[in-house]
């Protein structure tokens, strides 16, 4: 009989990515359980916390397999009822292209695709070029370990396979160019929606929402503007990991991270360890890489995670970055930017130069300063978004200049009016912030400048 190990593993469904699974490990010998889970491709996201994220959405199956292995080694494993339900649920891929495969054979195909995905993600498989063959993505790359073979890859996500192998990168590239020369593009293909969601599940994990109930009060669901700020650094890391068209670096003092879009016309500045009421984010757009700002938006350190996530989602979409500087902000643009608030019953008032929209409960609002729209200076805070006891005592503030894209402001309004987020109940003791494990970013010298359901 295997002697018991002083380690306890609590398994649950990821708080924001339904198919992913979390593991919280406790006990004097917790390291033994941690090592076992890491060996099974679980990712450490915080102290004694791991997540299992796969591109085939088979996490419950593999989590159950891990639970059996841990139990066999004498480790106590607790599985929440909702995860147990997911483990027991039978499902099939909708329109699976290989209908002759049994369920176990489908898992074998998915496992191979997962291995390819992980090798690329960990830098063990270098992708030289990619193309679209009219049906799916194809690519060519070389393994930097094993036997150093070059491979021809066919398919995406859980269907990606090694279709051919070559003895050298040159041989592989020549063969790839012969077939896909017209559509060939350098490097890896952009992340698929599934790959992007997997990256977010690893990077934006909220520890407070995954701890067992015995660790403290459950977070409550509240309007987005009242949600916790979460981990701003993890939000930015997730965004940059999922979007290769952005490049980042941190300042020499390690106090600030800069991110610049490949067009050089959109920039993010993130100041770390910022007090809640001070500016922690600055997003600015430029007509050209060397022109003055077209518009700028700032957010303070306590800005809720759902609000920042919507901002980053808008930047990722690449829609509405530009705004015509010469055209004045008119009533039509103001109405379009705030329509979601009006639809949700927010109170609309006009007080001289200020036009305001206030939540039905009076704890959040947007203010538009019509006077500033006539100034040529693009850094003025024409728009102010806030939440708190009242407008004069805000917990957090987002400001935006006159020509901030209407579509961006409308997206933020939609989030305020209709979205929700998690908030931890306040306790008597001081707040303890959890820092996620991330690899230290490379520091380089830079020129000074502004900154699915169960049927898959």
pLDDT tens for 155-208 read 999 999 999 999 999 999 999 999 998 888 988 888 888 888 888 888 755 444
CA dist 313 and 345 (Å) reads: 25
CA dist 441 and 446 (Å) reads: 14
Confidence of residue 8 (pLDDT cuts 50, 70, 90): very high
Spatial contact of 75 and 5, defined as CB atoms under 8 Å apart: yes
Spatial contact of 140 and 172, defined as CB atoms under 8 Å apart: yes
pLDDT in tens, 301-315: 999 999 999 999 899
Q: What is the pLDDT of residue 21?
A: 92
pLDDT in tens, 326-340: 456 778 889 999 999
* DSSP at 9: E
pTM: 0.50
Mean pLDDT of 227-247: 87
The secondary structure of 315-355, three-state, reads: HHHCCCCCCCCCCCCCHHHHHHHHHHHHHCCCEEEEECCEE
- The residues, any chain, with a CB within 8 Å of residue 338's CB and separated by 6 or more, are 357, 366, 368, 409, 410, 413
Boundaries of every domain in the chain: 8-88, 103-183, 217-423
CA dist 116 and 141 (Å) reads: 11
Confidence of residue 287 (pLDDT cuts 50, 70, 90): confident
Please name every residue paired with 423 in a beta bridge, in sequence order, or none if there are none.
220
Confidence of residue 218 (pLDDT cuts 50, 70, 90): low
Q: What is the pLDDT of residue 447?
A: 30
């Amino acid at each position: 009989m295997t002697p018991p190990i002083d380690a306890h593993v609590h398994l649950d469904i990821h708080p924001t990515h339904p198919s992913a699974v979390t593991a919280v490990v406790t006990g004097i010998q917790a390291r033994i359980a941690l090592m076992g889970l890491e060996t099974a491709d679980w990712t450490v996201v915080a102290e004694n916390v791991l997540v299992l994220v796969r591109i085939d959405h088979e996490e419950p199956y593999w989590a159950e397999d891990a639970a059996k292995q841990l139990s066999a080694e004498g480790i106590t494993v607790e599985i929440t009822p909702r995860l147990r339900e997911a483990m027991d649920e039978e499902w099939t891929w909708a329109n699976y292209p290989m209908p002759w495969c049994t369920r176990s054979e489908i898992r074998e195909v998915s496992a191979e695709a997962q291995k390819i995905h992980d090798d690329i993600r960990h830098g063990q498989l270098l992708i030289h070029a990619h193309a679209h063959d009219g049906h799916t993505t194809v690519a060519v790359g070389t393994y930097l370990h094993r036997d150093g073979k070059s491979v021809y890859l066919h398919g995406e996500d859980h269907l990606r396979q090694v279709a051919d192998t070559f003895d050298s990168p040159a041989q592989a590239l020549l063969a790839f160019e012969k077939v896909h020369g017209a559509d060939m593009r350098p490097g890896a293909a952009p992340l698929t929606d599934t790959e992007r969601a997997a990256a977010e599940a690893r990077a934006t994990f909220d520890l407070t929402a995954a701890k067992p109930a015995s660790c403290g009060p459950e977070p409550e669901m509240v309007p987005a503007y009242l949600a916790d700020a979460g981990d701003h650094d993890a939000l930015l890391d997730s965004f940059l990991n999922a979007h290769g068209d952005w490049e980042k670096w941190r300042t020499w003092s390690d106090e600030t991270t800069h991110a610049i879009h490949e067009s050089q016309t959109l920039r993010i500045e993130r100041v770390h360890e910022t007090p809640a009421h001070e500016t922690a984010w600055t997003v600015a757009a430029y007509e050209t890489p060397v022109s003055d700002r077209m518009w700028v938006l700032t957010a303070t350190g306590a800005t809720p995670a759902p609000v920042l996530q919507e901002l980053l989602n808008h930047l990722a979409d690449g829609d509405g970055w530009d705004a015509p500087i010469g055209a004045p902000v008119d009533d039509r643009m103001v109405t379009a930017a705030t329509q979601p608030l009006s639809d949700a019953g927010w109170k609309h008032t006009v007080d001289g130069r200020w036009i305001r929209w206030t939540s039905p409960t009076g704890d959040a609002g947007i203010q538009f300063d019509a006077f500033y729209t006539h100034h040529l200076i693009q850094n003025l805070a024409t728009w102010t978004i806030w939440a708190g006891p009242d407008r004069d005592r805000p917990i957090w503030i987002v400001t935006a200049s006159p020509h901030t894209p209407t579509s961006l402001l409308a997206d933020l309004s939609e989030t305020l009016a209709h979205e929700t987020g998690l908030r931890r109940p306040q306790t008597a003791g001081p707040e303890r912030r959890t820092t996620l494990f991330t690899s230290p970013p490379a520091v380089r010298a830079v020129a000074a400048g502004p900154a699915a359901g169960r049927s898959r």
